[in-house]
Amino acid sequence: MPPSDLQTGSATVRETFLLVLASIPEGRVTSYGRLAQLAGMGRGARLAGRWLGQLPEGTTLPWHRVLNSQGQLSLPPDHPAGQEQYQRLLAEGIIITHRRVDMKRYGWPD
């Protein structure tokens, strides 16, 4: 880890972000805002989205389990990643209605 990270602590927040993301249970989802909150990014929902979009293609992290606060898929239906997300969620047994999931049921943490 670069010395600059030890000074700014930026790596810590980023690592926490990845850690939280990785800890989202299969079959459950969370929102950008919550994820940011849990990772100590405060109101960095959009930043969370940015980081998710910058993850490597072959990542094993469950980026697809992150939706907007209304439980809707925020990615364009016609976009490759959007379909990928849709497919993965379905594969985990999550019921999707009108591109939206029931946060009361699948939301994490409870």
Least gap, CB of 57 to DNA (angstroms): 10
* Residues 20, 22, 27: CA angle, nearest 5 degrees: 105
Q: Which two tokens stand for residue 58?
A: 């072959």
Binding site for DNA (CB under 7 A): 10, 31-34, 42-50, 52-53, 55, 63, 66, 68-70, 74-75, 81, 98
The β-bridge partners of 100 are: 72, 97
**Nearer of residues 12 and 74 to DNA, judged by Cβ:** 74
Least gap, CB of 65 to DNA (angstroms): 10
**Nearer of residues 27 and 76 to DNA, judged by Cβ:** 76
Q: What are the DSSP calls for 1-33, one per residue?
A: --HHHHHH-HHHHHHHHHHHHHTSPTT-BEEHH
Least gap, CB of 73 to DNA (angstroms): 8
